[in-house]
């Protein structure tokens, strides 16, 4: 069933008389535009309304919102509208604007092929195409209006309505009577596909698992965003339902679309509220005066309009923007004037079994073609669309190496390689375009003093792990402790990888564990390489984003090696001019730089004791044959070391990492 036929079934249908001349002036504009097509659209009344629609359209192609187009206009009002034709203020797709007017003109044109109707409709199409962001989303207003209006807007189904109209045009469903030119149809097809891609990219991941959508997403970061004071970033039961119904209507859906639907349905099933019912209170004249949520064991499932991003807990908000746990805690005006609950997801759950059958989608866990050689691709052409699912499918303690090929794309997920997932290789398609990113940080996790260790975008606990040709990012920014990569495993190898973050970018954990980074780029602010493992960094670029400390080793007392940097470039942002090579997280810290090019940002003293005088006797900080403006051995702290050629021979690959760690690992 097309969207427009579906919409007709859920709005008030206007009954037609035998002659098709029923009056509609007492109906809302939305009801008029969604009524079933028929002879009424050839009446004088319908034509008069069409003239109003043409008058209200701006030259840019769109319409303002909340206009009851069926209301008669006097001469003065018509003249004012003509003067406003070239204005672009308040042109929008919010509250059904522009889409409703286009639907009306299409229904008129089928009955009365007036070329003005066609011209206005096609101008509307062009408006929609021009309003689309490059990332596929649409703002609430175009031209852009300052404020939250620039966000990608799913609220009140704004973007879904646009995509439904474009879908009807590109699929030539005969739902619409006006046909764009072949050139415009090609643009419509591109716009529709970009819009669907935006939907897939904005589906929110909760602890690495796809869930639903927010009512609006930031147009740049694609993250959930705030709108009005009571519309806080959250998962939306209402808007998400119509997004999924749109995805379900797509013929021959990609694996990525199937994956999005399956995860959304799982989320709807997990977040439904049972045992409640919405009750609308009316006065003796039938006028709505209040609504309540009452207990009803037989009530249909409901969903909250807003749910917490972290755990799906419903919340409610008044105009003060303060979250409340129950609807009774907010004022009468917002309680009565906003749809805090919805039952629309029931339509998704009802349609889901049929959709599964039509598209031959299995709800069972997907098995890869080759358990030792899997492919992850965002476009659905691989075995999986996200990395964690591939790891879930990997054999425990495998007899041979499990290679997971990760195609180019931005994977917005937390990845956990469990201790039983040994011999895993993540092989990216390219360092620059294969990106694993997430934005957890200490205060966001908020699990007490050890919250840092829960923030990692990628957590590796399986021995003999390899990663090549990819980027791992903690995108939270300068907000305190926020780990990009945490390695708590032995014999792990990273080559041609980028590690991006700020404070605590790379955590190398595990007493006695050996880890190797080759040709990698690692950036951060404070202590952005820290931990107790023995780690060799070879031919890497180590980049400081702030005046602070590069390393914070916590080498165990009896461990021979801590951090060793060989043939590395130590760089920084242009404004950075005061960076220490390291400070001791624990007092037996060991860090050595060999044959490294040290930028001018390195402080002459080189090392810091972290206000631990005893660490000056127990830690071991050394250099050999370094170069660059930052290499000033004569000014180094007296408790650091400049190695002799004989002493430097100790820092060989074999001595540091051992016989079981091959360079061809």
* Residue 208 pLDDT greater than 60, yes or no: yes
pLDDT at 17: 34
**What H or E segment, with its residue span, contains residue 52?**
helix 44-56
Q: Are 520 and 496 in contact (CB under 8 A)?
A: yes
Model confidence at 275, pLDDT cuts 50, 70, 90, reads: confident
| 262 and 139 within one domain | no
189 catalytic? Reply is no
Work out the average pLDDT over 444-469.
Answer: 94
* Residue 663 pLDDT greater than 80, yes or no: no
With H, G, I as helix, E, B as strand and everything else as coil, classify residue 486: strand
Q: Are 192 and 163 in contact (CB under 8 A)?
A: yes
Q: Is 605 left (phi over 0), alpha (psi -120 to 50) or beta?
A: alpha
Higher local confidence (pLDDT), 14 or 449: 449
Work out the average pLDDT over 88-102.
Answer: 96
The CA distance from 620 to 610, in Å, is 14
Neighbours of 414 (CB within 10 A): 23
| 295 and 305 within one domain | yes
630 closest CA partner among 554, 550, 562: 550
Model confidence at 379, pLDDT cuts 50, 70, 90, reads: confident
* Residue 289 pLDDT greater than 70, yes or no: no
Angle at 390 between CA 384 and CA 395, to 5 degrees: 140
Q: Are 499 and 528 in contact (CB under 8 A)?
A: no
* Residue 409 pLDDT greater than 50, yes or no: yes
Asked which of 14-18, 189-193, 210-214, 220-224 is least confident by mean pLDDT, the reply is 14-18
Residues 6+ apart with CB under 8 A from 63: 53, 56, 57, 91, 92, 97, 98, 101, 124
Higher local confidence (pLDDT), 329 or 119: 119
Measure Cα distances from 88 to 57, 63, 93 in Å.
Answer: 10, 9, 13
* Residue 496 pLDDT greater than 70, yes or no: yes
| 150 and 34 within one domain | yes
State how many domains the chain has. 3
The CA distance from 400 to 618, in Å, is 42
Express each pLDDT in 507-538 by its tens digit: 999 999 999 999 999 999 999 999 999 999 99
Token pair listed for 21:
């001349």
290 catalytic? Reply is no
Q: Are 399 and 423 in contact (CB under 8 A)?
A: no
Residue 336 is part of a domain; what is its CATH number? 1.50.10.20
pLDDT at 362: 52
* Residue 66 pLDDT greater than 50, yes or no: yes
* Residue 145 pLDDT greater than 70, yes or no: yes
Asked which of 37-46, 202-211, 363-372, 477-486 is least confident by mean pLDDT, the reply is 363-372
- Residue-by-residue DSSP string for 267-323: HHHHH-B-SEEEEEEE-TTS-EEEEEEEE-TTPPPBEES-B-TTT--B-EE-TT--E
In a domain, 42, yes or no: yes
Model confidence at 254, pLDDT cuts 50, 70, 90, reads: confident
Mean pLDDT for all residues in the chain? 91
The CA distance from 275 to 293, in Å, is 10
* Site of tokens 């529709």: 192
The CA distance from 242 to 200, in Å, is 14
Phi, psi of 428 (to 5 degrees): -75, 155
Measure Cα distances from 557 to 511, 537, 642, 647 in Å.
Answer: 10, 21, 21, 20
In a domain, 473, yes or no: no
pLDDT at 584: 98
Model confidence at 485, pLDDT cuts 50, 70, 90, reads: very high
Beta strands in 124-166 (DSSP E): 152-153
Residue 625 is part of a domain; what is its CATH number? 2.160.20.10
Q: Which of 94, 197, 440, 504 is catalytic?
A: 504
In a domain, 174, yes or no: yes
Rg (the chain; Cα; Å): 31
| 244 and 182 within one domain | no
Burial of residue 221 (CB within 10 Å: 0-12, 13-18, 19+) is: exposed
**Torsion sign, CA atoms 642, 645, 647, 651:** positive
Give 651-658 contacts, CB < 8 A, sequence gap 24+: 651/561, 651/564, 651/566, 651/592, 651/594, 651/624, 653/536, 653/538, 655/561, 656/514, 656/534, 656/536, 656/561, 656/564, 657/514, 657/516, 657/534, 657/536, 658/514
| 235 and 93 within one domain | no
Residue-number span of the structural domain to which 555 is assigned: 533-658
In a domain, 207, yes or no: yes
Residues 6+ apart with CB under 8 A from 81: 55, 56, 73
Q: Are 571 and 543 in contact (CB under 8 A)?
A: yes
| 186 and 268 within one domain | no
With H, G, I as helix, E, B as strand and everything else as coil, classify residue 570: strand
Partners of 383 in the beta sheet?
A: none
| 43 and 186 within one domain | yes
In a domain, 334, yes or no: yes
Q: Which of 157, 439, 440, 527 is catalytic?
A: 527
Q: Are 522 and 550 in contact (CB under 8 A)?
A: no
pLDDT at 1: 38
Q: Which of 140, 172, 202 is the last residue of a domain?
A: 202
| 290 and 152 within one domain | no
pLDDT at 288: 59
The CA distance from 598 to 596, in Å, is 6
Express each pLDDT in 577-594 by its tens digit: 999 999 999 999 999 999
Partners of 516 in the beta sheet?
A: 493, 536
* Residue 15 pLDDT greater than 80, yes or no: no
| 327 and 286 within one domain | yes
Asked which of 38-42, 72-76, 377-381, 480-484 is least confident by mean pLDDT, the reply is 377-381
Phi, psi of 564 (to 5 degrees): -130, 125
Higher local confidence (pLDDT), 610 or 10: 610
* Residue 659 pLDDT greater than 90, yes or no: no
Q: Which of 364, 382, 404 is the last residue of a domain?
A: 364
* Residue 287 pLDDT greater than 80, yes or no: no
| 301 and 248 within one domain | yes
pLDDT at 662: 61
Beta strands in 528-636 (DSSP E): 529-531, 534-538, 541-544, 549-553, 563-566, 569-572, 580-582, 590-594, 597-598, 620-624
In a domain, 588, yes or no: yes
Q: Which of 364, 389, 418 is the last residue of a domain?
A: 364
Residue percentage of the chain with pLDDT more than 90: 78
The CA distance from 419 to 68, in Å, is 63
Measure Cα distances from 262 to 218, 304, 619, 630, 659 in Å.
Answer: 24, 20, 53, 55, 47
* Residue 372 pLDDT greater than 50, yes or no: yes
pLDDT at 326: 84
In a domain, 460, yes or no: no
Half-sphere exposure of 505 (CA within 13 A, CB side): 26
* Strands 341-342 vs 152-153: parallel, antiparallel or unpaired: unpaired
* Strands 205-206 vs 209-210: parallel, antiparallel or unpaired: antiparallel
Angle at 562 between CA 559 and CA 567, to 5 degrees: 145
150 closest CA partner among 214, 220, 204: 220
| 230 and 195 within one domain | no
* Site of tokens 């050890």: 450
In a domain, 212, yes or no: yes
Q: Are 2 and 173 in contact (CB under 8 A)?
A: yes
Burial of residue 112 (CB within 10 Å: 0-12, 13-18, 19+) is: middle
| 227 and 130 within one domain | no
Express each pLDDT in 73-83 by its tens digit: 999 999 999 99
Work out the average pLDDT over 385-393.
Answer: 91
């Amino acid at each position: 069933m097309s969207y427009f036929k579906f919409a007709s079934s859920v709005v008030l249908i206007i009954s037609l008389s035998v002659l098709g001349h029923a009056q509609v002036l007492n109906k809302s504009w939305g009801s008029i535009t969604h009524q079933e097509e028929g002879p009424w659209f050839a009446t004088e009344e319908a034509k008069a309304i069409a003239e109003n629609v043409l008058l209200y359209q701006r030259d840019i192609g769109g319409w303002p919102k909340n206009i009851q187009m069926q209301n008669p206009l006097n001469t003065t009002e018509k003249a004012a509208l003509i003067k406003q034709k070239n204005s672009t203020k308040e042109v929008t797709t919010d509250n059904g604007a522009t889409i409703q007017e286009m639907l009306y003109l299409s229904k008129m044109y089928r009955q009365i092929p007036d070329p003005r109707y066609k011209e206005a409709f096609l101008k509307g199409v062009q408006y929609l195409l021009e309003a689309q962001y490059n990332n596929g989303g649409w703002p609430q207003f175009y031209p852009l209006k300052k404020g939250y209006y620039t966000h990608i807007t799913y609220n009140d189904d704004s973007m879904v309505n646009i995509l439904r109209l474009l879908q009807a045009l590109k699929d030539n469903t005969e739902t619409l009577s006006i046909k764009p030119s072949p050139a415009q149809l090609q643009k419509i097809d591109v716009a529709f596909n970009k819009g669907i891609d935006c939907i897939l990219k904005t589906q929110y991941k909760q602890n690495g698992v796809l869930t639903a959508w927010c009512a609006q997403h930031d147009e740049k970061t694609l993250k959930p965003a705030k709108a009005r004071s009571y519309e806080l970033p959250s998962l939306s039961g209402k808007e998400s339902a119509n997004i999924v119904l749109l995805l379900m209507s797509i013929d021959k859906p990609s694996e990525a679309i199937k994956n999005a639907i399956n995860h959304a349905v799982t989320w709807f099933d997990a977040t439904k509220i049972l045992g409640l019912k919405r009750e609308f209170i009316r006065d003796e004249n039938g006028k709505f005066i209040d609504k309540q949520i009452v207990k009803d064991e037989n009530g249909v499932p409901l969903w909250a309009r807003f749910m917490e991003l972290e755990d799906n807990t419903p919340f409610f908000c008044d105009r003060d923007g303060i979250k409340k746990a129950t609807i009774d805690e907010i004022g009468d005006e917002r309680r009565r004037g906003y749809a805090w609950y919805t039952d629309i997801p029931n339509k998704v759950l009802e349609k889901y079994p049929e959709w599964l059958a039509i598209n031959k989608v299995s709800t069972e866990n997907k098995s890869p073609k080759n358990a030792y050689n899997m492919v992850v691709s965002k476009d659905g052409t691989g075995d999986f669309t996200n990395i964690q699912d591939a790891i879930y499918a990997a054999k425990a303690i495998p007899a041979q190496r499990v290679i997971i090929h990760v195609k180019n794309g931005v994977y917005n997920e937390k990845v956990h390689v469990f201790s039983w997932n040994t011999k895993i290789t993540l092989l990216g398609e390219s360092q620059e375009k294969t990106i694993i990113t997430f934005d957890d940080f200490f205060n966001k996790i908020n699990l007490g003093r050890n919250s840092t260790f829960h923030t990692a975008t990628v957590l590796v606990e399986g021995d003999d792990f390899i990663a090549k040709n990819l980027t791992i990012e903690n995108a939270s920014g300068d907000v305190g402790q926020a780990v990009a990569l945490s390695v708590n495993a032995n014999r792990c190898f990273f080559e041609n990888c980028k590690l991006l973050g700020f404070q605590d970018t790379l955590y190398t954990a595990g007493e006695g564990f050996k880890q190797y980074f080759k040709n990698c780029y690692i950036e951060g602010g404070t202590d952005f390489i820290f931990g107790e493992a023995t780690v060799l960094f070879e031919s890497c670029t180590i980049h400081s984003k702030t005046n602070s400390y590069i390393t914070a080793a916590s080498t165990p007392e009896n461990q021979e090696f801590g951090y060793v940097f060989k043939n590395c470039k130590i760089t920084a942002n242009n404004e950075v001019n005061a960076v220490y090579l390291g400070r001791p997280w624990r007092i037996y810290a060991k860090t050595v730089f060999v044959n490294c090019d040290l930028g001018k940002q390195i402080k002459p003293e080189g090392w810091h004791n972290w206000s631990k005088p005893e660490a000056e006797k127990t830690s071991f900080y050394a250099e050999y044959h370094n170069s660059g403006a930052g290499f000033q051995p004569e000014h180094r702290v007296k408790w650091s070391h400049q190695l002799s050629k004989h002493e430097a021979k100790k820092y060989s690959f074999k001595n540091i990492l051992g016989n079981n760690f091959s360079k061809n690992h």
